[in-house]
Amino acid sequence: MARLDISAQQSYVAGHANPPDVQATTGGTTAAGDSSMKGQRKLPKGMVAREKGRILVQVYDRRVGKRIGKTFDRRELAAAKSWKRDTEQAIEKGLLRAGECPTFREASAEFMRGAAEGSIRGRSGERFKPSTLRGYEFALRKTLLPRLGSLRLNEIRPGRLAELIGGPHSGNGRSRLPE
């Protein structure tokens, strides 16, 4: 009987990464029967336990051959599962692709569209006022898009931003973009 169990486990290992009783858990150990694993649940596929109670969630994009990952606190397991599901669906629908970062022009258009329809809101949770949206649109059209529109968001850093725009200047202590 013990021989049958071992051969079944070996055939499982041949077809999969780990047998069921050796799957990684939130404790970060993989040894079956380890005392540190008591009381801890196994993480779903695509989630890896990290140090300090963190969880790394990864989704694979087959078209590009790359992973998209995000780290969550262990207490945010529901949010991690939700992010994983939403990301997988976005990749399936072609709305998201690993390794691609939108341009500033694309991101600002998406922001303005969401702010106008109310799906993107201000810090207070209120919709943006029409005058605020007009001010944003003016700043984008006159200053930001001509200088930053073609740059990918991951290329824009604070030092580079100050260099491209000329740095925020104002005598009244408020940051304003130069005209």
State the CATH number of the domain containing residue 50: 3.30.730
Assess contact for 83 and 72: CB atoms under 8 A.
Answer: yes
pLDDT digits (tens, 9 = 90+) for 81-126: 999 999 899 888 887 777 777 889 999 999 999 999 999 999 999 9
Half-sphere exposure in the Cβ direction for 30 (13 Å, CA): 10
Instruction: Tell which of 100, 122, 138 closes a domain.
Output: 100
Assess contact for 42 and 21: CB atoms under 8 A.
Answer: no
* Cα 4 to chain centroid, rounded: 44
* pLDDT of 18 above 70: no
Provide the number of structural domains found in the chain: 2
Are 159 and 109 members of one domain? yes
CA geometry: angle 124, 159, 99, nearest 5 deg: 75
Are 160 and 109 members of one domain? yes
pLDDT band at 168 (very low <50, low <70, confident <90, very high): low
Are 123 and 159 members of one domain? yes
Residue 160 domain flag: yes
Residue 147 domain flag: yes
pLDDT digits (tens, 9 = 90+) for 19-73: 333 333 444 444 444 444 444 678 888 888 888 889 999 998 888 888 888 888 8
Are 58 and 72 members of one domain? yes
Full residue range of the structural domain in which residue 118 is found = 104-165
